[in-house]
A and B are shown apart, each in its own frame.
Chain A
Amino acid sequence: MNIWLVMLVGGLITFGMRFSFIYLFGRFEVPETIRKALHYVPPAVLSAIIFPELFLRDGTLNLSFDNHRLLAGLVAILVAWFSKNILITIIAGMIALLLLQFFL
């Protein structure tokens, strides 16, 4: 298969999956349990993206102080918890990481 065809089919599949439920919703009755479950998509998916970014270095678990991203991430989590402010959290986490990289 040539690369253009691969891209076209890959793009159509990706679009189809993004479109799937957005298109279907409202055309069918959605059970209450599913509606409830959907509220847990953001915390579940986002944590599943965040955890490996913080805990894994080169694919293996790293809980040492060398793991600057874990430490900076924990700082960000604390700041997020108390400030509930997105911008302050990102700035705090970024500064924490740069300082750790610089001094440790």
Chain B
Amino acid sequence: MSEQSKQFWAGVRAEIPLLIGGFPFGMIYGALAMNAGLPASAAQLMSSIVFAGSAQFITTQLVRESAPGLVIVLTIAVVNLRHMLYSASLAPYLASLSTRWKALLSYLLTDEAYAPSVIHFEKEGITPYGHWFLLGAGLVLWMDWQISTALGIWLGTAIPEFWSLDFALPLTFIAMVVPVLKDRPAIAAALSAGVVALVAYSLPFQLGLIVAAFVGIVIGTVLEGRKSPRGTL
């Protein structure tokens, strides 16, 4: 097997638990969109044009409330701000790619594709075919999202809630983040971001998430700077 397909399938495999966890969300989105009175075609195409779970949920909510288009667009922008963080975080590993590759991978860059890919990149460093991992993870998630949206549109939310399949999402994030917590700055970054996320949860547009992430990043960076005075000796 070529190095490209090895990386691609490793990305697909890493994505599997997130596919399971994401599936009920896609169905719920599809059902909610129909409920809000969106045409089925628009509900389905939003999953490929916007392709961002929480923004799509909020959009259906706003459509139901007949919010003005400008408000919806601004809301989508703010809710998706965290993707700039993902973009910055993955950028060093994708710097040598063509613009076409960069555009394709950016289109596929969701929470669920970002998490396994950044963990993979941090472990392996910059490798010539590492971007195929992100392509594999992003592409299967894209398919998962389209299919689950369609099923939600047709069937409503057919998965019984007590299966708690959606819990696979936070569980996968836990499984990915805990092994990364190797030193005190990383642990402090995670804990502070988590606590701030709780405190700031009620902020509108999911801004609490952004605030929390920034606090965690700053605390981690400052602690690392104090711990290792690089180049001073």
User: Contact residues of A with B, CB < 8 Å?
Assistant: 1-11, 13-15, 17-26, 30, 33-56, 59, 61, 69, 72-73, 76-77, 80-81, 84-87, 89-90, 93-94, 97-98, 101
Contacts and interface: CB of A to CB of B under 8 A. Distances in A.
A17 B96 CA distance: 19
Contacts of A81: 178
Contacts, number: 265
Interface in B33-79: 38-39, 42, 45-46, 49-52, 55, 59, 63, 68-70, 72-73, 76-77
Name the 8 nearest CB pairs between A and B, nearest first.
A1-B69, A44-B216, A25-B91, A40-B220, A51-B194, A80-B178, A89-B175, A26-B95
B4 interface: no
A42 B119 contact: yes
Nearest to B109: A18
Interface string B214-231: 111110110011000000
A43 B52 contact: no
14 contacts: A6-B73, A10-B50, A10-B55, A10-B77, A11-B50, A15-B107, A18-B106, A20-B87, A37-B218, A41-B88, A44-B217, A80-B175, A84-B178, A94-B171
B194 A77 contact: no
Contact of B63 (A3, A19, A34, A61): A3
Interface of B is mostly: helix
Contacts of B119: 42
Contact of A18 (B83, B212, B215, B225): B83
B195 interface: yes
| Chain B interface bracket (under 10, 10 to 19, 20 to 34, 35 or more) | 35 or more
B122 A39 contact: yes
Nearest to A100: B164
B181 A43 contact: yes
Interface of B: 14, 17, 38-39, 42, 45-46, 49-52, 55, 59, 63, 68-70, 72-73, 76-77, 80-92, 94-96, 99, 102-103, 105-107, 109, 111, 115, 118-119, 122, 162, 164, 167-181, 185-187, 189-198, 201-202, 208-209, 212-218, 220-221, 224-225
A84 B180 CA distance: 9
A77 B107 CA distance: 31
Given A44-B189, A73-B171, 14 more contacts: A3-B63, A17-B81, A23-B103, A33-B225, A42-B89, A48-B213, A49-B170, A51-B194, A52-B208, A56-B198, A69-B170, A89-B175, A89-B178, A93-B171
